[in-house]
Amino acid sequence: MQTSFHMSLPCLNIKETKGFYANIGASLGRKSQNWMDVNLFGHQITFIKAEKFNFNNPNYVFEGKILPSFHFGIILDFKTWETIYEKLKAQGLDLVTEATFLKDKVGEHTSFFVKDPNDYLLEFKSFKNSADMFNA
């Protein structure tokens, strides 16, 4: 059985959020004036119009890089990851921490972060070996 995650997040502006996710290749699902569903590579994110949401969360350091503790993301094959990275980079978006982690170790992966219009950090990650996703 294939499974998908669902996440619901507050959203500042439905129109801007819709444009951002459509631009990175996500398809749009059900919607109303105050909420919308996004299909992010088979996973459902529901954005609900709300006021600015305040996350008082620290960052953390992993292999010398400062990473946000609150973020969500998607794991892709490298070709898709690279295509999205180059597309967003060409658009001049502020891409954060493009790096390869755990080099030559179990779990080696490349990732970058980008902010959506609601200031959520979205991580795009690609494992060198997809079987290592949950291996220690």
Alpha-carbon span 61 to 46, nearest angstrom = 29
Q: Where in the chain is the domain with CATH 3.30.720.120?
A: 6-49
The pair of structure tokens assigned to 63 is 């292999």
CATH class of this structure's domain 6-49: alpha beta
* pLDDT tier for residue 66 given thresholds of 50, 70 and 90: confident
**Residues spanned by CATH 3.10.180.10 within the chain?**
59-132
0.95 exceeded by the pTM?
no
Enter the CATH code of domain 59-132: 3.10.180.10
The residue ranking higher by pLDDT, 136 or 54, is 54
Per-chain mean pLDDT for the chain: 84
